């Protein structure tokens, strides 16, 4: 999860919201779930919950987390393997086995890892190792991904969907993306080829008849960190526009071709605490304008990056803000194709300005009010 939105100044954000409203982007009144104005049943997206790195936790933590997610009536659970080592694979297989015991569908996030590269990786100013996809050893990645699928097959665990990458429009997750300046045509081309080949390699392996040819393919969740007013130019400014370009890179379509078809476009929607519905709607409208409606948008992460901003200026707490964002999603889903909505996250360790836990459970493992909001929404399916 990216923390860049914390830099956004409130007054610049207000200007941006006004500009979006003038363009017809502002959130509208939510449509009642299950009914449209014409009386015809409407689309209600499934609810999912993220919990990164769960495979590295104890079995007791894994079991409680997945049991809680099931108890909240969520349909989807999202996480990815921690490594390609035998222990890392075994732990992730066990995590997915427990998820399936709770009758959860699983969205697996497959990211580039240190072990996919031939040499040492440069450290970014966030203390992370840069992993440019243009430099990945696709043979090493193929072996790692195939080994994971072999293990899942051996354990008779189905794979529902795979998201290839996460926030690869951000410098810190894919160092091919320029930092501190607008991408030149050549830099953009390097990024497009790098991500495109990573996606193609993974998708072809996933849909190999030996593995999971029916599994859904999801592109990386877009961070949108360059979209906000006042944001430093550290990422691709309009990620949906760049993702749309994957349809023609050197005359090859990385989204639809003879080997596979991308089913969903991934996006991350971190709304502003000061205007939850308006900013969430504006970002999804921006994605739709750039990508069209041929493929549904899968919100693989949504929430708020800075819980210290709650209660907000209208005295709304985080649970009220989440309800507003969900209402905005449901409203927009009547007009544009939306896939599942995955809340980030089950627990994060962060707190708001009143020292309330940010997430779905408190430090004792008890549900907090946000959990009730998600559960009530999930029951509408």
- State residue 176's pLDDT score: 93
Strand order of the β-sheet with 265-270 is: 216-219, 161-164, 105-110, 76-79, 47-50, 338-343, 297-303, 265-270
Own/partner contacts of 308-313, CB < 8 Å, gap of 24 or more, are 308/351, 308/352, 308/353, 309/273, 309/274, 309/352, 309/353, 310/273, 310/352, 310/353, 310/354, 310/356, 311/352, 311/353, 311/354, 312/273, 312/274, 313/274
CATH superfamily label, 45-378: Glycosidases (3.20.20.80)
Which helix (H) or strand (E) segment holds residue 108: the answer is strand 105-110
**Is the four-CA dihedral 81, 84, 87, 90 of positive or negative sign?**
positive
Please, what are the averages of pLDDT over each run of 10 residues along the chain (381 residues)? 40 42 39 38 87 96 98 98 97 98 98 96 86 97 98 98 96 88 91 98 98 98 76 77 98 98 97 93 96 97 88 85 97 96 88 74 92 97 84
- State residue 104's pLDDT score: 98
What is d(CA 147, CA 88) in angstroms, rounded to the nearest whole number? 11
- State residue 251's pLDDT score: 98
User: Which positions ≥6 away from 365 have C-beta within 8 Å?
Assistant: 64, 68
**Is the four-CA dihedral 110, 113, 116, 117 of positive or negative sign?**
positive
If we measure between CA atoms, which residue out of 56, 51, 84, 86 comes closest to residue 68? 51
Q: Is 107 exposed, middle or buried (0-12, 13-18, 19+ CB in 10 A)?
A: buried
- State residue 348's pLDDT score: 72
The residues facing 65 across adjacent strands are none
Supply φ then ψ for residue 165, to 5 degrees: 95, 175
| Helix, strand or coil, per DSSP, at residue 107 | strand
The string of DSSP codes covering 36-92 is -TTS-------EEEE-TTGGGS-HHHHHHHHHHHHHTT-SEEEE--S-SSHHHHHHH
Per-residue exposure over 215-236, b if at least 16 CB sit within 10 Å of its own CB, e if not:
bbbbbbbbbbbbbbeebeebbb
From residue 372, alpha-carbon distances to 43, 131, 160 in Å are 22, 38, 26
- State residue 37's pLDDT score: 41
- State residue 221's pLDDT score: 98
In whole angstroms, how large is the CA radius of gyration of the chain?
A: 20
Please report, for the chain, the start and end positions of each structural domain, with discontinuous segments joined by +. 45-378
The residue whose two tokens read 């990815």 is 80
The residue whose two tokens read 């090859």 is 252
Query: Do the strands 76-79 and 47-50 form a parallel or antiparallel pair, or are they unpaired?
Result: parallel
Half-sphere exposure of 27 toward its Cβ, with a 13 Å CA cutoff? Answer: 21
**Is the four-CA dihedral 168, 204, 207, 150 of positive or negative sign?**
negative
What is d(CA 196, CA 202) in angstroms, rounded to the nearest whole number? 10
What is d(CA 300, CA 32) in angstroms, rounded to the nearest whole number? 23
Contact (CB, 8 A) for 104 and 63: no
Contact (CB, 8 A) for 333 and 45: yes
Contact (CB, 8 A) for 295 and 263: yes
Query: Do the strands 347-351 and 357-359 form a parallel or antiparallel pair, or are they unpaired?
Result: antiparallel
Contact (CB, 8 A) for 295 and 262: yes
């Amino acid at each position: 999860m990216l923390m860049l939105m914390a830099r956004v100044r409130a007054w610049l954000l207000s200007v941006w919201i006004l500009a979006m409203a003038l363009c017809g982007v502002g959130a509208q009144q939510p449509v009642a779930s299950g009914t449209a104005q014409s009386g015809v049943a409407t689309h209600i997206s499934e609810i999912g919950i993220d919990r990164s790195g769960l495979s590295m936790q104890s079995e007791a933590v894994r079991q409680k987390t997945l049991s809680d997610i099931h108890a909240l009536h969520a349909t989807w659970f999202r996480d990815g393997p921690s490594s390609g080592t035998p222990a890392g694979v075994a732990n992730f297989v066990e995590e997915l086995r427990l998820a399936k015991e709770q009758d959860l569908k699983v969205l697996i996030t497959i990211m580039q890892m240190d072990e996919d590269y031939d040499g040492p990786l440069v450290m970014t100013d966030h203390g992370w190792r840069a992993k440019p996809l243009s430099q990945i050893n696709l043979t090493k990645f193929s072996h790692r991904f195939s080994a994971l699928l072999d293990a899942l097959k051996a354990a008779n665990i189905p794979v529902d969907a795979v998201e290839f990458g996460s926030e690869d429009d951000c410098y810190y997750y894919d160092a091919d993306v320029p930092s501190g300046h607008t991408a030149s045509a050549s830099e953009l081309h390097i990024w497009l080829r790098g991500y495109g080949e990573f996606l193609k390699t993974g998708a072809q392996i996933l849909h190999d008849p030996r593995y999971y040819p029916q599994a859904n393919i999801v592109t990386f969740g877009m961070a949108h960190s360059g979209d906000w007013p006042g944001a430093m130019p550290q990422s691709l400014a309009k990620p949906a526009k760049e993702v749309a370009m994957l349809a023609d890179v050197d005359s090859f379509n990385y989204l639809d071709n003879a080997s596979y078809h991308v089913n969903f476009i991934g996006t991350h929607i971190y709304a502003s605490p000061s205007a939850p519905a308006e900013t969430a709607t504006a970002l999804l409208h921006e994605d739709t304008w750039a990508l069209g409606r041929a493929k549904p948008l899968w919100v693989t992460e949504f929430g708020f990056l800075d819980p210290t901003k709650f209660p907000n200026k209208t005295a709304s707490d985080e649970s009220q803000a989440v309800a507003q964002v969900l209402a905005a999603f449901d409203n927009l889903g009547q007009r544009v194709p939306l896939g599942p909505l995955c809340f980030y996250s089950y627990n994060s360790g962060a707190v708001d300005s009143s020292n309330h836990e940010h997430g779905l459970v408190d430090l004792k493992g008890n549900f907090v009010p946000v959990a009730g909001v998600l559960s009530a929404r999930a029951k509408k399916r």
